[in-house]
Amino acid sequence: MASIELRQVSKIYPGSAAGVKDIDLSVADGEFVIFLGPSGCGKSTLLRSIAGLESITAGDILINGEIVNHVAPRDRNIAVVFQSYALYPHMNVWQNMAFGLRMRGSPAEEIDAKVKEAAELLGLTPLMQRRPSALSGGQRQRVALGRAIVRDPQAFLLDEPLSNLDAQLRAEMRLELVRLHRKLGRTTIHVTHDQVEAMTMGDRIFIMKDGRLIQQGPPLEVYANPADTFVAGFLASPPMNLVSGRLVEVGDGLAFRTDGAMLPIPAAFRAAYAAWAGKPVIFGLRSEDFHAAPNGDSSAPLTLQVEAVEALGPENILIGRLAGAPTQVSARLSRHYSAQPGESVTLYADLTPMHLFTPEDGKAIPRPRAAPALLRRHA
């Protein structure tokens, strides 16, 4: 059982400016959190620092409230699944999984039982005698996972542990990891690029960019209230539509004006956005907030010149431009609604979950928080 806390942690690699900077975060005992961010943003670096494999440049790392900056990795009792798997090439699957227990001097029967159990769970039983070189990528990844599970550590650090599995196995393992976490209750940090993993697995997500922590919170809350255009774009596929334009006063209300569209700002946000009237802003709306028919009183019609249609099966994604505008917009509609490329269609934007961002640094302009979608349904 372990809580993990980072205070002003920086890790800058010597001879470069790369690394992570001023990270403050705390993960409660038993919590499952997600690190999400683009390639090279420092997720693995942070994980290695927590595991004690990299000496940090500044700050303090606390496990269970105690500073562990100078505690050796083996004494932190944290299991790591490495992005590269890092299987021991001269050992077979069984030996790979048993290594940690052997190093800690567990009795032989216990080692055997635990390794068997983990192998069963991960579907590795028929492969126990194979060397890593004779395994497929997905099998290697499962061995790496198994090696961590058997150890029964205080905490798990998983660096993209599902990245190399096929879609079906990934979905199974996703559920399996969550189930395992519920059963063992171990603090877990899970690094991923995957939207679905980020949204569904963790209690909270931490979004990183360029070595910094940008935003943290429960997945749906972050989804509903992105701190800036980066988070807005990153945490969804297709990314949130971001359109440059200007906030204008219309009568006693406000509207967002851009080439090809004029969208009234919902009355609830008027006070919050008043200071930005007349100024350039970036308007953000997710693709699922477009509808084929009017939907409530904050629906606004607009015309989309369709350029491409992605029929995914359960839904159709229309990609196009607002009449004459340069920015591309995508709208996620039901599978019953489609259009041909080249056609102009009228869609209705539900503006209740809209966002405005400053054009200078992309930060969200504060407004009354939108409740996460799930909660709204119960309201």
Partner 1 sequence: MRHFGLHAGLWLAVALILLPPLWVLRTSLVPESMAYSTDVFPAFSLENYQSLFGQKRFGTFYLNSIIVALGSVIIALPFAAAMGYAFARFQTGGRFGRFLVLSLQMLPPVALVLPAFAILRSMELTQSLTGLTIVYAALNIPFLAWILMGFFEGIPVDLEWAAMTDGTTAWGAFWRIVLPVSLPGLAAAGVLGFILSWNEFLFALVLTGSKTATIPVALASLQTSNGIQIGKVSAGVVLAILPLIIASRFIQRFIVQGLTFGSVK
Ligand X SMILES: Nc1ncnc2c1ncn2[C@@H]1O[C@H](COP(=O)(O)OP(=O)(O)OP(=O)(O)O)[C@@H](O)[C@H]1O
Residue 83 interacts with Mg ion (CB under 5 A)? yes
CB 346 within 8 A of CB 303: yes
Site string for partner 1, 257-296 (x = CB under 8 A): ----------------------------------------
Amino acid (one-letter) located at 158: L
Shortest Å, Cβ 375 to ligand X: 31
Q: Which of residues 42-61 bind Mg ion (CB under 5 A)?
A: 44
Strand partners, 319: 308, 330
Residue 121 interacts with partner 1 (CB under 8 A)? no
Amino acid (one-letter) located at 280: P
Distance separating alpha carbons of residues 68 and 200, to the nearest angstrom: 31
Shortest Å, Cβ 311 to partner 1: 34
Widest CA span in the chain: 80
Among 113, 23, 93, 92, which residue's Cα sits nearest to residue 62?
23
Output 44 or 225, the one with its CB closest to Mg ion.
44
Shortest Å, Cβ 42 to ligand X: 4
Residues in contact with ligand X by the rule CB under 6 A:
13, 16, 18-19, 37, 39-45, 83
Question: How many other C-beta atoms can be found within 10 angstroms of the C-beta atom of residue 369?
Answer: 9
Distance separating alpha carbons of residues 184 and 169, to the nearest angstrom: 21
- Tell me the Ramachandran region of residue 101: left when phi exceeds 0, alpha when psi lies from -120 to 50, beta otherwise: alpha
Site string for partner 1, 144-173 (x = CB under 8 A): ---x---x------------x---------
Kindly indicate which of the ranges 61-69, 76-84, 247-255, 366-374 contains the residues binding Mg ion, using the contact rule CB under 5 A.
76-84
Shortest Å, Cβ 46 to ligand X: 7
Kindly indicate which of the ranges 33-41, 127-135, 331-339, 363-371 contains the residues binding partner 1, using the contact rule CB under 8 A.
127-135
Site string for partner 1, 38-57 (x = CB under 8 A): ----------x--xxx----
Candidate residues 104, 179, 335, 363; the one interacting with partner 1 per rule CB under 8 A: 104
Shortest Å, Cβ 132 to Mg ion: 20
Output 44 or 229, the one with its CB closest to ligand X.
44
Residue whose token pair is 């809350």: 221
CB 258 within 8 A of CB 245: yes
Kindly indicate which of the ranges 5-13, 17-25, 133-141, 369-377 contains the residues binding partner 1, using the contact rule CB under 8 A.
133-141
Among 232, 224, 179, which residue's Cα sits nearest to residue 207?
232
Distance separating alpha carbons of residues 213 and 210, to the nearest angstrom: 8
CB 51 within 8 A of CB 76: yes
CB 210 within 8 A of CB 346: no
Between helix 137-149 and helix 167-184 the angle, nearest 10°, is: 0
Q: Which residues bind Mg ion (CB under 5 A)?
A: 44, 83
User: Under the rule (CB under 8 A), what is the footprint of partner 1?
Assistant: 48, 51-53, 72-74, 76, 78-80, 82-90, 99-100, 103-104, 131-135, 137, 140, 147, 151, 164
